[in-house]
Structure 1
Amino acid sequence: MRTLIIGDIHGSYKALLQLLERAEVTQNDLLIFLGDYVDGWGQSPEVIDFLIRLKRTHRCIFMRGNHDDLLLSWLKTGEYTEEWFTHGGQLTTSKYKDVPEEKRQVHILFLESLEDYYLDDNNRLFVHAGFTNLNGVKHEYFTRMFYWERTLWETALALDKSLDHNSPFYPKRFTLYKEIFIGHTPVTRIGETVPVNRANVWNVDTGAAFKGPLTIMDADTKAYWQSDPVYMLYPEENGRN
């Protein structure tokens, strides 16, 4: 049995299918999706449809991403922010115009069922963005941090590699869990297109919303598989570029 982590999909249904095939995913694998299933490319409804079907046949755990939360709010209220609209929301809402009301309600139920985080028996944390409470995720005061915050990753990037774990200056958040797996902030921002490890944090968002590929990684071995760069699968679209 493998524990496989899937990075931010952002509406790239073609890349998701390509990825699962390349990783030779089976029903014996545990699939942990880190969130942001929508916004970016033009198949967000198809991605949600597929994940709902996949949940019936495979063992899946789905994190909540900030884009998923924004879509949920729009589906329930019709309200949106201009910032979301210009960062993928406009394309997503246009695609949902063709989705029947009955299916919309099914998608709402799926989005409402998403997890804030997952902590496994090996003390490995899986979360879309991060957390801020120095005593860990179970003590987080503001649950929106699980899918919005960036300081965990920014701190990991800035951390002096020579700093000893026992030093009083070593960030306490990094001592709470064996490993932390996140998405949210694409590693393309630091010029990478593969999973990046800093301290005990692994970032698996390889920029599928932009010019990068979609990635799936084995949590144990750190082997990974990738789709083609997603923009090549949608030559008629611009994504979030």
Structure 2
Amino acid sequence: MSGRLIAIGDIHGYRAALQTLLNEIQPDADDIIVTLGDYIDRGPDSKGVIDLLIQWGRKTQLVALIGNHEEMMLNVIQGEQSHHGWLRYGGVETLESYDFDGDLNFLPAEHREFFDSLGDFFVHDNYFFTHAAYDPQLELEQQPIELLRWHSLRAGIPDPHFSGKTAVVGHTASDDGSILDIGHLICLDTNCYGGGVLTAMDFPSKRVWQAKPDGELVA
């Protein structure tokens, strides 16, 4: 018997909220948990979020996708871009959570392995998952990285993908903490870092679990 398929939106360093959702969901070895990226930055405990994802990855089938914030951090660590942009968008909080002492090699080996393992998309049954958006006419393997990791739905919501599969994304935070569901696309970034909630959704039932930034479960 196959397990559940559950996606979790942008976490942004809110370990308490993530812990609450995972405790409620209690995923097991048959379940697939898809995390949509942006685990770090802005919130108080980015390191703790990664610790928790690694821990639960030993108990369930964790599919962790990359977000634009992971891209920014990795580019800085690898010397591919200046730190200024990353710090402006939440990198300071991430560095603080790792007790940064000036050495850019601050990630524990297990965490670096986690970040290096992140994928850009995941396809399962009638759904595909990615961080931000997509080109409706292109195969997922041909998608521009800019669309997958950076495109804001405020700049335009893509048409249905030619495959007929439903897109599940994050990245574009809803102002009021609500889930955007327009049929062919569902956005689960419910603005946890901005005072909203962290959201998990089961597919295809669309059962929802939500937690506030402090970890309080939303009934």
The TM-score normalised by the length of structure 2 is 0.86
**What are the equivalent positions in structure 2 for 1:21-170 lying under 5 Å apart?**
21-77=23-79, 80-98=82-100, 104-120=108-124, 122-132=125-135, 134-140=137-143, 142-151=144-153, 154-155=156-157
* Residue 167 of structure 2 corresponds to residue 180 of structure 1: yes
**In the alignment, residue 198 of structure 1 is paired with which amino acid?**
I
Q: Choose the corresponding residue for 1:219, options 181, 203, 210.
A: 203
Aligned to 1:209, what secondary structure does the other structure show? helix
C-alpha root-mean-square deviation of aligned residues, in Å? 2.5
Aligned to 1:155, what secondary structure does the other structure show? coil
Q: For the pair shown, which has the larger CA radius of gyration, 1 or 2?
A: 1
Aligned to 2:181, what secondary structure does the other structure show? strand
CA 1:117/1:152 → structure 2, altered by over 3 Å: closer, same or farther? farther
Question: Which ranges in structure 2 are unaligned for 5 or more consecutive residues?
Answer: none
Instruction: Show the counterpart of 1:197.
Output: 181
Instruction: Show the counterpart of 1:168.
Output: none
CA 1:144/1:107 → structure 2, altered by over 3 Å: closer, same or farther? farther
In the alignment, the residues of structure 1 paired with residue 157 and residue 18 of structure 2 have an alpha-carbon distance, to the nearest angstrom, of 30
In the alignment, the residues of structure 1 paired with residue 48 and residue 63 of structure 2 have an alpha-carbon distance, to the nearest angstrom, of 18
In the alignment, the residues of structure 1 paired with residue 127 and residue 17 of structure 2 have an alpha-carbon distance, to the nearest angstrom, of 27
| Conserved 8 A contact 1:7-1:216 | yes
* Residue 193 of structure 2 corresponds to residue 206 of structure 1: no
Displacement after TM superposition at 1:185 (Å): 0.3
| Conserved 8 A contact 1:76-1:108 | no
| Conserved 8 A contact 1:52-1:110 | yes
Aligned to 2:66, what secondary structure does the other structure show? coil
Question: Which ranges in structure 1 are unaligned for 5 or more consecutive residues?
Answer: 157-170, 235-241
| Conserved 8 A contact 2:42-2:89 | yes
Displacement after TM superposition at 1:81 (Å): 4.0
Q: Which has the larger helix fraction?
A: 1
The TM-score normalised by the length of structure 1 is 0.78
| Conserved 8 A contact 2:154-2:172 | no
Aligned to 2:52, what secondary structure does the other structure show? helix
Q: Give the count of matched residue pairs.
A: 212
In the alignment, the residues of structure 2 paired with residue 16 and residue 85 of structure 1 have an alpha-carbon distance, to the nearest angstrom, of 23
